[in-house]
Structure 1
């Protein structure tokens, strides 16, 4: 209790509280702009942390990341442009609610589930950090291969319509993920002599193109009369009763996000996709997913914020980055003279718990700041489509250019926008393609690494207990549709 009291005194200082508030506000703005991710926001914040003490510096990073992950849902719900990669998992449900005239429902559910999921993640971070980190360190390249395959298998669940079209979309995403220089052999693949393609296809411009530009093209080519813009109602109306009714989704999303986030390199993106797939698999009405249903949105929304918190587990306990944000955090800790690892819990435990409390405070700030930004965002709905779409296109171009400060990113965005439009015109879902791009490189790298370590012995994928368990889950996931089809024929 003495340590917790010291940590509370460190966080309760006026300069720390003001820093958390300022970083939270900045995170809200950055996350709401397509292309400007939480990672980019943290990277921009690092030079400022040079002039701060350790507690406000780390608290600022934690607050900015938590806010940016939530506010990425706002352009997704209003314009079908995921502000962050994690938002892409449930963007169709959120946008469908807006088109049905209920934008406040999708945004309110995103806010509520993000808040509860984030608090679950922080509480697990505070009380189970060593246990979760010990579990995470048991993962080798074999387990990460199965984890990536499990994520890709979710494509069959998250896609709507024809299963064959979902698989075709996934194969396209995997092909895109394999473009560039092979990380293991160092050989260029599918670059066609292009120097820019040697670095691979950047995920953010591709995602912006397949969601945002596709929506712009659909608006431009749609012959039907333009629907009247929906009005934003009370954000919290019916929110509490819905979350209570869907408490299983909230709790399961928070726990799934916490476990996936604790795995180094997994992060909020994979957690959101996995949770959405679990929600659809466990739902009594899976056919409603993607049409404005709340189960997947709530579960995945809780999961990505919980994963953001638990990604700090391997970072603080073992010095292993849990995701891109915590990789930056490790550098900041070293700059402040703090070496991440088990010894930090012995030398400066009050500092660690001050970081935990800062994370908790940042998640609680989601409620007032999230409500304020949603109320401001309602003005977007009043802008006529003829004016709004050019503005959205400009934002897409700026966001795609900002990734690598290169016009090549804009070209990628435009190309994938046309591909996404062709996909949707022919009933091919976009979500599996995005999932393939996200997980393709992880799948290949861990497969090749495992094969090299085992000298080509395939038994290495089932020799370890955790690997065998994950493999069994993947096989059951694949077998389920076949078994259902056989049962329906008998």
Structure 2
């Protein structure tokens, strides 16, 4: 208790509070601009943190990350261009609500879900960090293989109309994920002699291209009248939000739990948590047919999962020095610079600094309410800007954001090519979301499968020998075969119904 009070005193220092405020505004800006992700926001803050003491340095990263993850929802809902990868799972759903004149509701629900999910993740991080990290360390390549399969399976639920087209889209994403050096044999694949392609296709340029550039191309080539978005009255952003959250309170809890658990798995992060939460929401919804048409239920799940995942990713990072995602990989570097070696001993040697991180998580999520409100009120002006003015500006930000990742024009080329691919796909009715999912999870799937096969000497039964792997495997296989079983049951029941 004394340590927690000491940590509260460290965080509520005027200098630290000022750092949190400015970092929050910076994170909101970075997340709201397509191409400038939460990871980029963190990377840009690192040089600044070198001149700060440990508490404000860590507080700035925690706050900027939390704000950027939420702010990614803003261009996703208003322009169908996700600001961060974590927002990609439900961009189509949010944009569909905007087109129905519910932009205010979808952004209000997204903000409140993010705050509640973030507070839940912070609570779990504070009280159960060692236990969760211990559980995550039990995951070997076998468990990661089934986790990747489970994530890819959700593509079938994300795809709206034609499941076959969803599977084809998924395969395109997996194909793109195979570009580069084979992780097992070390042999280059599909590189066509290009040295740049040996490192694989970077996810950020791919996502910007497949969402943002494709949207720009669609806007330029469309001969139809632009869709008139109903503005409604942008007064109180929180109007109607309470009723939605009360109705879907179980979804809120479920999304927060999934986000925290998936976030605690090294390498998973908020991106995968959002995809899984959205897919689970659709699977267990009483109104699954409404998903994709502008239904708020999936946004409650995935919005809560996004920010809950942030707390989860810090669990393995702080307790065992294993990054939960790309952001905490950067954070571990900052911890070492500040003389805080992540691991179990850090709780004994510098507990007040670790607990100050926990306090900052709570504070950052509470700060998100006023900062998010201001961001929403400002961002709705995007809808009033003519598309022929807005699209070139967005394209410029996309090019700058993509170039800034590795300071190379090659990334911009990847963005343009995949933007053209996505445009052709969508024009022919193929959804983009499964392709993005395949690209995200393809590397994890291949690495874990090949590593597991080497360990098991080619024995496929080894994938079911470990308890956690067996549970995940059985659940995944049951989901795979459930459509077939349901179809057979319907066929069996139909003759009796006809009598």
Output the TM-score relative to the length of structure 1.
0.98
Counterpart contact for 2:34–2:394, Cα < 8 Å = no
Match of 2:330 among 316, 319, 328: 328
Q: Which runs of 5+ in 2 are unaligned?
A: 493-499
Partner of 1:160: 160
State the Cα distance separating 1:436 from its structure 2 match.
0.2
Match of 2:257 among 255, 258, 262: 255
State the Cα distance separating 1:298 from its structure 2 match.
1.0
Structure 2 matches for 1:37-436, cutoff 5 A?
37-231=37-231, 233=234, 234-436=236-438
CA distance in 2, matches of 1:226, 1:330: 47
State the Cα distance separating 1:226 from its structure 2 match.
2.4
* CA-to-aligned-CA distance 1:91-144 (integer Å, 9 cap, x gap): 001111111222112211111110000000000111111111111111011111
Counterpart contact for 2:72–2:84, Cα < 8 Å = yes
RMSD between aligned residues: 1.2
* CA-to-aligned-CA distance 1:8-28 (integer Å, 9 cap, x gap): 111111111111111111111
State the Cα distance separating 1:400 from its structure 2 match.
2.0
CA distance in 2, matches of 1:414, 1:213: 7
Partner of 1:36: 36
CA distance in 1, matches of 2:151, 2:79: 26
Structure 2 matches for 1:4-23, cutoff 5 A?
4-23=4-23
CA distance in 1, matches of 2:259, 2:229: 35
Counterpart contact for 1:188–1:198, Cα < 8 Å = yes
Residue 154 of structure 1 aligns to a residue in which SS? helix
Counterpart contact for 2:98–2:229, Cα < 8 Å = no
Counterpart contact for 2:257–2:308, Cα < 8 Å = yes
| 211-220 vs 53-62, which moves further | 211-220
Residue 328 of structure 1 aligns to a residue in which SS? helix
Q: Which runs of 5+ in 1 are unaligned?
A: none
State the Cα distance separating 1:229 from its structure 2 match.
4.2
CA distance in 2, matches of 1:487, 1:260: 33
CA distance in 1, matches of 2:389, 2:410: 26
Residue 292 of structure 1 aligns to a residue in which SS? coil
Residue 323 of structure 2 aligns to a residue in which SS? coil
CA distance in 2, matches of 1:21, 1:352: 20
CA distance in 2, matches of 1:321, 1:145: 19
Counterpart contact for 2:96–2:292, Cα < 8 Å = yes
State the Cα distance separating 1:338 from its structure 2 match.
1.3
Count, aligned residues? 490
State the Cα distance separating 1:220 from its structure 2 match.
2.5
Counterpart contact for 1:213–1:393, Cα < 8 Å = yes
Stretches (4+) displaced over 6 A: none
Counterpart contact for 2:96–2:293, Cα < 8 Å = yes
Partner of 2:497: none
